[in-house]
Structure 1
Amino acid sequence: MACVMAALGCRELNPNFNASADTDESCDDRNQSFSHSNCDGACVDTELNIEHCGGCAQPCFDHEVCKAGVCLVDCPGDRRSCDGSCVDTQTSLQHCGACGIACSLGEYCVNGACDSECPAPSLVCEPVCVDTDSSVDHCGMCNTACNDDRSCVMGTCDLVCDPPQTACADACVDTNTNSMHCGGCDQPCDGFCMEGACVQECAASLVSCGQSCVDLQTDPLHCGGCNQLCKAKELCDAGQCECEPDLDSCGEACVDLRTDKVNCGSCGHACAAAQSCKEGECACKGGKTVCDDGCFDTDKDASHCGDCDTACAMGESCERGGCE
């Protein structure tokens, strides 16, 4: 991929960038803020590289991205998967408006289109032109990033809550039942809060837990009894905590047996380090074969030619699974 910037900028924009091939840096010499490893002679970022995700020779499947060393199917928010990384196509110099559309040297990507100027009120936060009122990476000012649970609104990182909860101060609360925020933030209730209104007693089908009227049959915070919390990825059904639909209980956790590398297809069935779990089966990308916890193309790989145990002699190559 052509790089329109200096080597450092190119590395930041392209996680699959091979620094050892384009600069004099080695993995040992580079800035330690980048999680790089030497894989087959190339210095790669195993936090983001789709061919070495989480470690060398651990590729992701097509349409997956590598984030924090884990293969993920899609990207958060409005970001898109381009070349195996999640990018903002509204500001990315390498993927402006769509994957693979690169801006020329000296241009900025503004709202998904290449432009020679960064128009106000946007600011240049090298190397991109961003709206600091809405950018989660540059919220309010350059290089001020919001946490994962917050969005940037008018230059301020605001808490993002899942319905029916509402952000009140620094907490997500249900204003239908919360006695301190009954019907809205900072609206305390002297009695019980039920459906966003203060009442003196709970309806017959509900139970008072603290100053809230709750349904012990469905409330994940009071499932079967007051303050009996369900765990992450659990729902409260008939007063019992159960895994969300399409998830299964393995030990103390709810997991997706179709994609979980530690519990692939069944609880406790772990895939090899180089494999991914796809539709409940451990597999390598592109039909490769697992050999010594690595994925290899036994049709072409001279060290695993035809099968895992056959290595070609020095000077020979592997063609269609045979040494020649």
Structure 2
Amino acid sequence: MADEKRDDPKKEQKSGFPQMSAMHVVIAIAVIVLAVIFIAKFGFGMDLISSSSGEMAIAKPRPVSPAPATIQKDVAVRPSISIRPDMLPSCDAPKTLCGDTCTDIQTNVNNCGACGNDCTSRDVKNVAEYGCANAKCTITSCQPGYGDCMNKGTTDVNGDGCETNLMTSESWIYNQYSSYVYQQKDPESKVYLENPANCGSCGNKCEGGSTFFGICDRGACRKVCWGTWLNCDNSWGNGCEQVFDDNNCGACGAKCPADSFCNNGCCVLKSDHSKAVADSLGVTCSGNIWVRQSK
């Protein structure tokens, strides 16, 4: 037995790969199997192991979704921004923010009382210029010859505007010839306006008296005698002191001829009251009876 040959361990190490124990082989196989399972499930997108049987299966590619018919462009999405009240612009009292401008709505004609309330957009008669006061639209000025007299200083343009004619007594009807004004005889006809209250300006009243009345002539007050009265002394202090007679027939100093007399301001023949004749001023009444008054 002493002569029996033993293998040289150094020679075994030089012959090839180092020898592996059975335990090493089992561990290596387990690692390989786990690696295959992991790769099949997660690594390459292929199902190598059947989920039902646990056996090796034929690798199948995963389905690919079809491409859309049209490719949408990237759409910018605006982020939702919440603005705190203290971040908004503010105006110092008494001004209000109208658009991007601090505005005093108490006096601003284009934003009167509220933003956008434009007084100048109103259509009110005879108004030349608008304003804004105490948050209300006002009339700053009227067209020439007109006044806002009905509102008595409260000139809100929601009213009737510049409603008053300051130049004439519109309802007073008369004809003017040379130095005479002819009015209808009967003062009770009321076709003229007595004592206009707003002549030339609001509140300027044309006063009258017991024998005369006031009219507004082109913005100025003027006095006219009633009916058969005349102002021959040119003093309105005593009113119209002269009544019609044969020496003042229809006008001061208008004398009727000897064969005529004064009939309601017209010289007519004594023999024929229907026939008028010329007075000393050369005036002959027409068929209608008019009372001639001095300006």
Query: If the length of structure 2 is used for normalisation, what is the TM-score?
Result: 0.20
Query: If the length of structure 1 is used for normalisation, what is the TM-score?
Result: 0.18
- Report the structure, 1 or 2, having the larger helix content: 2
The higher relative CO (CA closer than 8 Å, separation ≥ 6) is in 2
